[in-house]
Copies of this chain bind each other. A is one copy, B any other.
Amino acid sequence: MNKKLNPASCAVDYAFQRIGGKYKGRIIWYLNDNNILRYGELRRIVQGITPKMLTQTLRELEEDGLVLRTVHHEVPPRVEYSLTETGKELLPFINHLRVWGEKQMKLEGDTCY
C-alpha cells in the first residue's frame, strides 16, 4: 500500500487519494478489463506523459494494488501492465465519468479552449 496516503477523513477522501492525480484515471481506463499493455504502449497512448511520470504513476498504482506489473526477463526486456481485480472494480466508475465528460465536452462546444 502506498505509504504516502494521508489519513482519510472519509471514504470519498480515501478513494480520491488513491485514484487522484493527473494520469491515474486514464491509465486505469486504458488498461480496461483484460487489456495488457507494455510500458512503451502506455507511453504512446497516455498522451503527454513523460517516462518519469509514467513510471512513477505505475509504481504508485502497483503499490496501491490496482495494477499488476509483470516482468518478462528477455532481451530486450518486456514489462506488461494489467489491472488487478481491485482495479477492475473501478472501471464502471471511470466509464460513467467518461460518459459524463463526453456529454459536458459537447455542451461546451468550441468556447473553451
* A20 to B, closest residue via Cβ: B20
> A34: CB under 8 A from chain B?
no
Tell me how far the C-beta of A8 lies from the nearest C-beta in chain B, rounded to whole angstroms.
7
When distances are taken between beta carbons in the complex, the residues of chain B under 8 Å from A10 are 26, 98
Interface size on A (CB < 8 Å)?
A: 42
Write the chain B residue with the least CB distance to A48.
B9
Q: Which B residues lie within 8 Å of A35 (CB)? A: none
Q: Is the CB of B94 within 8 A of A5?
A: no
Chain A, 1-30, CB within 8 A of any chain B CB: 1, 5, 7-16, 18-22, 25-26, 29
Min CB distance, A31 to chain B, in Å?
Answer: 12
Interface, chain A (partner B; CB < 8 A): 1, 5, 7-16, 18-22, 25-26, 29, 46-48, 86, 89-90, 92-94, 96-102, 104-105, 108, 111-113
